[in-house]
């Protein structure tokens, strides 16, 4: 387990993702999501699993809207 030290800085919400990364690795979240969507036809640009992972991460960092993803 990595040692986490905090300084007197104002971390961004993205900084908290480093705490979730080992959990996602241990749960094999990427592989699990890929398995959930493998029966669906994949878009040539974005697959279903990366989009689901993106939604999970945006939820964790506190985004309320996905307006930056209006593609």
pLDDT of residue 1: 77
Compute the 3-state secondary structure of the chain and give helix, strand, coil in percent, each to the nearest 5: 55, 0, 45
Element (H, E) at 54: helix 48-60
68 assigned to some structural domain: no
71 assigned to some structural domain: no
31 assigned to some structural domain: yes
**Per-residue confidence of the chain (71 residues) as pLDDT tens digits?**
778 777 777 767 677 788 888 999 999 999 999 999 989 887 778 888 988 998 888 888 877 776 666 55
56 assigned to some structural domain: yes
69 assigned to some structural domain: no
pLDDT of residue 45: 83
8 assigned to some structural domain: no
Domains held by the chain: number? 1
Q: Which domain holds residue 51?
A: 13-36+45-62
pLDDT of residue 32: 94
């Amino acid at each position: 387990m990595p040692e986490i030290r905090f300084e007197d800085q104002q971390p961004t919400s993205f900084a908290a993702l480093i705490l979730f990364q080992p959990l996602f690795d241990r749960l094999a979240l990427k592989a699990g999501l890929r398995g959930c969507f493998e029966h669906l036809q994949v878009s040539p640009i974005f697959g279903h699993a990366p989009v689901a992972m993106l939604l999970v991460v945006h939820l964790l960092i506190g985004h309320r809207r996905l307006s930056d993803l209006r593609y």
